Structure 1
């Protein structure tokens, strides 16, 4: 099928799990990350700032698990070790990296997908969202699963290639290919998205 426009209707930016663990020296976050991971997370700030400047709502997500591990489910059956435990410094959102503000929308999640067990659906309805633009990590886990759930809920889904990072280069690339398979033209670069945000604001004026 032909690719849809980058932004359809009302866009919302989802900032997925940009947490302190990726930026702390000698911190074992329990999750492997590709070499360029922190660079991609820092690059995401440009898209966040552009969204704010162009009146695109921004929603921040924080994966967090209870210290007694009751809500990990099957997350430790694969490669990942214990991660994102409440009360640990690395679990907090990297506020200085993403420019988090006190009045921002922040959703804590217990699972990979931003839709599972959260009020994201309610918030998106309130924002009258049509297109979900995603930055953050991991490309092959939380971003991919959120994208797939959004796709099945009939949202237009976009992922910013240079602002997401995976557990490895191969996993990152495979996830991007899988998302592009679901929606042609879904994988875009930050420059395209920033320009689209600006055009969206101008069209709404």
Structure 2
């Protein structure tokens, strides 16, 4: 059941890191997403994402890393072709890789961490994210990443429609302009007024959190369950 308290991380949280990919040269300026609630631009936001990730790892909660990717011929681009955004997330460009600032090695993933590729802004749109969230009995998703007004906002909306609470770490998300950043935060506050949280409140609660027992099992044994089949 969705938690109805002011807890900055809910009862049983997971972390979703939204689209922290490298930008391509042709879209670097338009998609730089340096407008945030903190000074320092995109790099400062990336460092805050790292901070939340490290706290999530220590707290033994699942972490889901996301990428928006599209085929080079735009066959899966859909209505995004009508967007004011420049071409983005194209397979075969730097957008296939996470930003090197981030503390993730895709060739050697940490236990209970997963990479999901999405084709739309909303992380819940035709991906397998809910399989993972249900496995770990998640009721709240902590959101960090890019962009506040688009993919973070639409993923928060997706979580809301699927009856999850969301908690956006405000200082760990950004948009192309300050106006768009603030508008994104305002729209998400409208959906769930407690859904926007200060990063220090989130990390402080993660330090106190007792951990997800299934995550602990995966870290100890490498699997959710020792076997499958009839019991």
Same fold per superposition (TM over 0.5): yes
Match of 2:119 in 1: 110
| CA distance in structure 2 between the aligned counterparts of 1:45 and 1:203, rounded to whole angstroms | 20
Distance 1:203 1:154 in 2: 20
Q: Conserved in 1, the CA contact under 8 Å of 2:46 and 2:101?
A: no
State which structure, 1 or 2, has the greater radius of gyration over its C-alpha atoms: 2
Runs of 5+ unmatched residues, structure 2: 36-40, 214-231
Structure 1 vs Structure 2 CA RMSD:
2.2
Shift of residue 65, structure 1, vs aligned partner: 0.4
**Alignment of structure 1 residues 82-121 onto 2, 5 Å:** 82-101=87-106, 102-103=108-109, 104-121=113-130
1:13, 1:59 within 8 Å by CA — same for their partners in 2?
yes
The answer on whether the counterparts of 2:55 and 2:206 sit within 8 Å (CA) in structure 1 is yes
> 1:195 maps to which residue?
204
176-185 or 112-121: bigger deviation:
176-185
Q: How many residues align?
A: 201
3-state secondary structure, aligned to 2:210: helix
Counterpart Cα distance in 1 of 2:5 and 2:187: 15
Q: Which residue is 1:34 aligned to? A: 34
Q: Is 2:75 the partner of 1:75?
A: no
SS in 2 for 1:8: coil
2:176 aligned with 1:167, yes or no? Answer: yes
> Unpaired runs of 5+ in structure 1?
none
> Scaled by the length of structure 1, what TM-score is found?
0.89
SS in 2 for 1:97: coil
Alpha-carbon separation, structure 2, partners of 1:129 and 1:70: 33
